[in-house]
Structure 1
Amino acid sequence: MFKSKIFQYCAIAATAAITSGVIVSTTASLQSQSVKYQDQTKVETQKQLQHPNNFAELPESTNKFAANSPNMPSGKVIKQLNLTLEQLQKLKAVRDRDQKQIRELGQKLRQTNKELQDLLAGNEGSDVIRAKHKQVIELQRELQNKHFERMLAMREVLTPQQRRQLKDIMEKNRDQLREGMKDRMQNRLENRRERLDKLRDRSTL
């Protein structure tokens, strides 16, 4: 149970690192592309939006703009949801609203989790470790709440049909993520068992 907890902390920290990294790397890109994006898509987009079914045919910069934004659908999902330009702009506003807080929370969670790992490897008492573990749990909960509020704001931008479509996509992705994490954890446990078996065999020689 104790070892499984350690693996869970590592997985959580890795997920937070990836999320924060995507946010940081995309911010500069979005800022530098915003002016070009507006100029390039203004005329063509207005023509396209007269025919909603043609939204998937918007200029490449439009799809990149959406796909590179954290917590926004990828290019394939954009085509499936038939988002309008106005919806894309509203989703960007949702992303920008609390981006800094989410990034800072992710960084703080990684740091606190690292401190917990150091405590577990050291000689500190159980009370100190429990207190640090409580901090990790609280930060996880706060970060989850931020993402949940962002999801609710994003939901308000979508039509009922788009919400149902997005739900199906998210469930599919969640199942794939869960299976991937399960497989990675299982591989780690099997590798650990193999190493322990080898050490045990050597000790009996």
Structure 2
Amino acid sequence: MILSRSFSLITALVMLSLTVTDVHAQTAVTEGTMLEELGLTQEQKQDIAGIQQKYSQDLAQGHQELHSAYEELRQMMIGMESEAAIRDKHQEIGIMRQHVADLRLETMLELREVLTPDQRQELADLMEERRENWSRRARNGPPLLFP
């Protein structure tokens, strides 16, 4: 049970860091429902916004570079590139992925410091509930508008 709770908290922090650092869309985490459900103070909201601002550009750039590198690798696989060149590109992508993962970890660690232990648990519970809902929807398909 403790391991499950720890995993849920880690998962929740990862999801929070991913959504807080998403520069292409304002999510429920940064404006609205999740913040309201966690009962964040104004200071916590400001701290989270600062964390978002601190990491969002680097994460967005990292994701864009990864996207481009994957496209290059795809073209290399289609084309006549040598195995060595393809392996080098694959290794480069691995390094880029690790860099993005490191940025996410730093984001999570900073977010963790902003939340109280009770808020961390609440976040873990909320994320677990949402993950279950997503899984259920994936198994059952989208809801019917007119049954």
TM over 0.5: yes
Distance between the aligned counterparts of 1:139 and 1:174, measured in 2? 27
The match for 2:102 is 145
Q: Are the structure 2 counterparts of residues 122 and 174 from structure 1 closer, same or farther at C-alpha, using a change threshold of 3 Å? A: farther
Q: How many residues are matched?
A: 119
Please identify which structure carries the higher helix content: 1
Kindly tell me: are residues 74 and 133 of structure 1, through their superposed partners in 2, closer, same or farther at Cα, counting changes over 3 Å?
same
Q: 1:118: which partner in 2?
A: 75
1:82 to 11, 33, 39: 39
Select the residue among 86, 93, 96 that pairs with 1:129: 86
Q: Contact 1:69 / 1:92 at 8 angstroms: preserved in 2?
A: no
Looking at both structures, which has the greater relative contact order when contacts are Cα pairs under 8 Å and sequence separation is at least 6?
Answer: 2
The two structures, once aligned, show a CA RMSD in angstroms of 2.8
Which consecutive unaligned segments of at least 5 residues does structure 1 have? 1-18, 27-67, 183-205
- Label 1:178 to 1:111 Cα distance change in 2 as closer, same or farther (>3 A): farther
How far apart are residue 178 of structure 1 and its match? 7.5
C-alpha displacement of 1:170: 3.0
TM-score by length of 2: 0.68
> CA offset at residue 102 of structure 1?
1.2
**Identity level (%):** 29
Question: Structure 1 residues 112, 88: CA separation in 2 closer, same or farther (over 3 Å shift)?
Answer: same
Q: Deviations over 1:137-176 (max 9, x none)?
A: 1111110110111011111111100001112233444566
Who is 2:9 aligned against?
Answer: none
**Structure 1 letter corresponding to 2:76:** L
Structure 2 CA distance for partners of 1:69 and 1:77, relative to 1, 3 Å: closer
Q: Per the alignment, in what secondary structure is the counterpart of residue 124 of structure 1? A: coil
Q: Is structure 2 residue 97 aligned with structure 1 residue 97?
A: no
Displacement of 1:80 in angstroms is 1.6
Aligned to 1:170: 127
> Could you say if the C-alpha distance between residues 176 and 145 of structure 1 is closer, same or farther in structure 2, counting changes exceeding 3 Å?
farther
- Write the deviation string for residues 98-132 of structure 1: whole angstroms up to 9, x where unpaired: 22211211111111111000011111121111111
